[in-house]
Amino acid sequence: MKRNDMTSNGASLYACSLGCRAAMARTLLPLALAASLIGAASAAVVFEQAPADGNDAFLSISAAQSADGFVLSTTTSVTGLTWWGSYLEDPGDPATPLRKDDFTVRFFADDGSGAPKALPTETILQQPARSSTLLVDKERAPVYRFDLDLALAPVTLAAGRNYLSVVNQFDVLDSRAEWYWLLSDTTGQNFYRVVDRDPWSRALNPPKGNLAFQVSGNPGTAIPVPGSLLLVLSGLAGLNLVGLRGRGELAASPVEG
């Protein structure tokens, strides 16, 4: 084979490769866009107890655990959690460095008496992102916001009453490590226990209150993306797949039934 022919063939294969890659990109883009639109349309805040500036906060560490209840109107795929809390010693102060946060997040079902069961239905060890806020607690300690993204590993919860426990277990090897879960109000009810597997009891020491947290997710009845848009996106993907099957040596072979 002549060198010119080899060069020409190489250029053709290279052009084919580029064309296939471009076609594949045009195929996947509409599908990815459709998926992102469905996720964005269906994810929503399904429960919220907003934080209150200057409120009290309850200790929630390995040796003093707190939990609170919430109600879902339908079976929900939980894709995110947010909560607010403060520290005995501010982790943002370089003069008093603390161990890194070690949160354990648990969901519990109702035990039939309006309290959480002793054993959780779900346990999450993934760590949240922590960010500063302009809020302070009752002792004027800075309040931080914690965001836990569960989009890649959502948790499905049944409709009805569920319970959330957020425990910062960074105190296990540091006696100075104390984390407090901020209250949303002082009129509700939360739950307390000393250690894992203990039965939960209603808050023993006043003031009582609902703990500040937010649950985001995809309810059982998702908000639909307009059908016409999905048809357009799937049509674009289909056109590109048809084109891809006719391109060079990378073309797909038809499946015989």
pTM: 0.70
Q: Indicate the length of the chain as a whole number.
A: 257
One domain, residues 169 and 101: yes
Evaluate whether residue 255 is within a structural domain: no
Q: Do 94 and 130 sit in the same domain of this protein?
A: yes
Residue 103 domain-assigned?
Answer: yes
Which H or E element spans position 187?
Answer: none
Q: What is the number of domains present in the chain?
A: 2
What CA–CA distance (Å, rounded) separates 253 from 244?
11
Could you list the residue range(s) of the whole structural domain that residue 48 is in?
44-219
List the beta bridge partners of residue 202: 191
Q: Which of 29-33, 52-56, 91-95, 156-160 has the lowest mean pLDDT?
A: 29-33
Question: What tens digit of pLDDT does each residue of 236-253 get?
Answer: 444 443 333 232 332 333
Q: Write out pLDDT tens, residues 24-60.
A: 445 444 444 444 444 444 579 999 999 999 999 999 9
Both 190 and 105 in a single domain? yes
Examine residue 256 and state whether it is found in any structural domain, yes or no.
Answer: no
Cα separation of 49 and 183, whole Å?
9
Do residues 66 and 60 make contact, with C-beta atoms less than 8 angstroms apart? yes
d(CA 218, CA 42): 5
